């Protein structure tokens, strides 16, 4: 049996292309995120959380275990049936460093395409959730798109705050005490406006 590290500052930076490929599947990505937030969990529990049938998750789990992203984390007996438990190798698993290598651009594009589809599913689920809160200090459902021309100083502040938000969310894991939420973000440079021919 293996267990993940509970060091809140330890991050698994996924750089191996075979491991990166595992994230191309939105289903596998969601399994990893759910385990990181709430693990260890059984296939039965994951299926209930994801709205899937347990048999549909076994091959994904096998690939994640073989890819050393997920570990087998003991057993539990439920109604006289022994269940295998699974967990992530670390609470924080990140792909951001792999984006620095242009050789990974094709994989990153496929991963983000899957995540945007997952984002729509997450939003639809949030709309129908009894826990939805769309206003005030405890808001847990919303979206935002801003097109802007930030200075390097502003970008530095934005990136610092994004890291602070991620750190805050990773550290505040209250288990079953609070309803789970998902947080997405994407930032990308756009094509600049054409030059004004009247300006030299």
Q: Which residues pair with 71 in a beta bridge?
A: 87
- What does the pLDDT read at residue 174? 58
Segment (H or E) for 11:
strand 11-13
Give me the chain's average pLDDT, please. 90
Condensed to tens digits (0 to 9), the pLDDT of residues 90-137 reads: 988 999 899 999 999 999 999 999 999 999 999 999 999 999 999 999
Task: Give the per-residue pLDDT at 3.
Answer: 53
Mean pLDDT of 174-192: 86
Task: Tell me how many degrees the CA angle 61-178-1 measures, rounded to the nearest 5.
Answer: 35
**How would DSSP label each residue in 33-97?**
HHHHHH-SEEHHHHHHHHT--THHHHHHHHHHHHTTSEEEEEEEEETTEEEEEEEESBSEEE-GG
- The yes-or-no verdict on residue 78 having pLDDT over 90 is no
At 175, phi and psi to the nearest 5?
65, -130
């Amino acid at each position: 049996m293996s267990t993940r590290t509970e060091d809140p500052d330890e991050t698994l930076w996924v750089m191996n292309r075979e491991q990166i490929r595992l994230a191309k599947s939105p289903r596998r990505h969601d399994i990893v995120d759910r385990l990181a937030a709430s693990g260890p969990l059984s296939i039965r529990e994951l299926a209930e959380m994801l709205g899937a049938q347990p048999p549909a998750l076994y091959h994904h789990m096998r690939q994640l275990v073989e890819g050393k992203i997920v570990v087998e984390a003991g057993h539990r007996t439920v109604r006289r049936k022994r269940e295998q438990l699974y967990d992530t190798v670390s609470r924080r698993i990140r792909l951001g460093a792999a984006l620095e290598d242009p050789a990974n651009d094709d994989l990153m594009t496929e991963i983000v395409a899957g995540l945007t589809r997952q984002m729509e599913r997450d939003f639809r689920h949030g709309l129908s959730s009894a826990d939805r809160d769309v206003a005030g200090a405890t808001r847990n459902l919303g979206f935002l798109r801003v097109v802007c021309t930030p200075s390097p100083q502003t970008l530095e502040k934005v990136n610092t705050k994004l890291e602070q938000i991620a750190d805050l969310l990773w550290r505040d894991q209250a288990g079953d005490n609070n309803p789970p939420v998902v947080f997405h973000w994407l930032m990308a440079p756009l094509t600049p406006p054409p030059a004004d021919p009247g300006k030299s």
